[in-house]
Amino acid sequence: MANIRQITDWRAPTKIGVSYDKLLAAIGTQEFGATVRDSVLSMTAGARRVYLFEATSRESSTLQYSFCEPGVAELFPAYTRWYLRRDPVGDAFDATPHHCDVALQRVRPSDIATPSFRRVFFDDAGIVERISVIQRGQDAWRGINIARHASDGRCSDEEIGALIGLACLVLPMLPLNRRRNAAAQSLTITELEERFGTRCARLTQRERQVCARAASGMSVAETALGLGIAKTSVLTYRQRAYQRLGVTSPIALCALVTQ
* pLDDT tens, residue by residue, 192-233: 999 999 999 899 999 999 999 988 888 888 999 999 999 999
* CATH assignment at residue 21: 3.30.450.40
The total of structural domains in the chain comes to 2
- What is the predicted pLDDT for the residue at 91? 95
Taking phi first (over 0 means left), then psi (-120 to 50 degrees means alpha), and beta for anything else, what does residue 79 get? alpha
pLDDT on residue 30 = 77
Single out the residue in 146, 161, 178 at which a domain terminates.
178
- Domain final position from 127, 161, 178: 178
224 and 129 assigned to the same domain: no
DSSP state of 118: H
Residues facing residue 22 across a β-bridge:
none
Give yes or no: residues 236 and 146 share one domain.
no
Instruction: Output the pTM of the full model.
Output: 0.77
Q: 202 and 106, same structural domain?
A: no
Q: Residues 120, 88: one domain? A: yes
* Distant-in-sequence, close-in-space partners of 105: CB < 8 Å, separation ≥ 6: 2, 3, 4, 88, 89, 91, 92, 95, 131, 132, 133, 134
Residue 155 DSSP one-character state: P
- In this structure, the answer to whether residues 106 and 219 fall within a common structural domain is no
- Name the β-bridge partners of 129: 148
Q: Same structural domain for residues 118 and 206?
A: no
The reported pLDDT for the residue numbered 1 is 65
Give the end of a domain, one of 178, 200, 226. 178
- Regarding whether 218 and 91 lie in a shared domain, the answer is no
pLDDT at 259: 66
What pLDDT score was predicted for residue 210? 94
Alpha helices by DSSP H, listed for the chain, are 16-26, 32-43, 76-78, 89-94, 115-118, 157-170, 173-185, 189-199, 205-215, 220-227, 231-245, 250-258
Instruction: Give the residue ranges of the chain where pLDDT is below 50.
Output: none
Segments forming the whole domain that contains residue 199: 187-258
Tell me if 28 sits within 8 A of 251, measured CB to CB: yes
Query: Which region, left, alpha or beta, applies to residue 90 given φ > 0 means left and ψ of -120 to 50 means alpha?
Result: alpha
| Cβ atoms < 10 Å from Cβ of 115 | 9
Residue 100 near residue 136, CB atoms below 8 Å: yes
